[in-house]
């Protein structure tokens, strides 16, 4: 349903997007009543709130997801959560905040959840493109990583 909301929003059908975001929010809250520590449900709630214009609630839910599944506990899933958090931050217009989780995710093994190529291509990052910090992130992400043993 969240992807449906995004599709409606992208096509300019704000009314149907709002209905879909409301459905996601209702379902996520119901599921969270049963499993309050499910990071993915907090993310769904964060995106629904972002789509509904509830900035503070969206940020709170996104940060809760990253607390529940940090990189220190699960490097691959934690990196993905960081990227989703950054996307929530961009969606609510908190572009400055998005740089920290992106940087952390790029520094960790991400299992393909983020790369310089994805940052370059994915339109979700368009609001960050003119910021010099974005160019630095791209450059850092493209730096070759040596896997050869040191002498």
* pLDDT tier for residue 111 given thresholds of 50, 70 and 90: low
- Cβ neighbours for 54, distance < 8 A, ≥ 6 positions apart: none
Using the predicted structure, report yes or no on whether residue 2 has a pLDDT greater than 80: yes
CA distances (Å), 135 to each of 76, 89, 104, 132, in order?
24, 18, 15, 5
* Residue 146 confidence (pLDDT): 43
Q: How far is it, in rounded angstroms, from Cα 97 to Cα 50?
A: 15
Q: pLDDT tens for residues 45-89?
A: 999 999 999 999 999 999 999 999 999 999 889 999 999 999 999
**If you average pLDDT over residues 5-31, what whole number do you get?**
97
Kindly report the average pLDDT of the chain as a whole number.
91
């Amino acid at each position: 349903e969240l992807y449906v909301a995004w599709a409606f929003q992208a096509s300019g059908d704000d009314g149907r997007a709002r209905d879909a975001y409301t459905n996601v929010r209702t379902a996520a809250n119901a599921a969270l009543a049963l499993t309050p520590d499910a990071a993915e449900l907090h993310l769904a709630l964060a995106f629904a709130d972002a789509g509904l214009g509830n900035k503070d609630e969206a940020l709170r839910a996104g940060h809760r997801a990253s607390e529940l599944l940090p990189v220190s506990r699960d490097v691959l899933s934690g990196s993905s959560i960081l990227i989703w958090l950054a996307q929530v931050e961009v969606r609510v217009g908190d572009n400055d905040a998005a740089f920290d989780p992106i940087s952390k995710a790029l520094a960790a093994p991400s299992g393909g959840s983020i790369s310089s190529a994805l940052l370059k291509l994915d339109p979700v990052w368009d609001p960050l493109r003119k910021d010099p910090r974005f160019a630095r992130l791209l450059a850092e992400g493209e730096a070759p990583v040596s896997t050869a043993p040191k002498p």
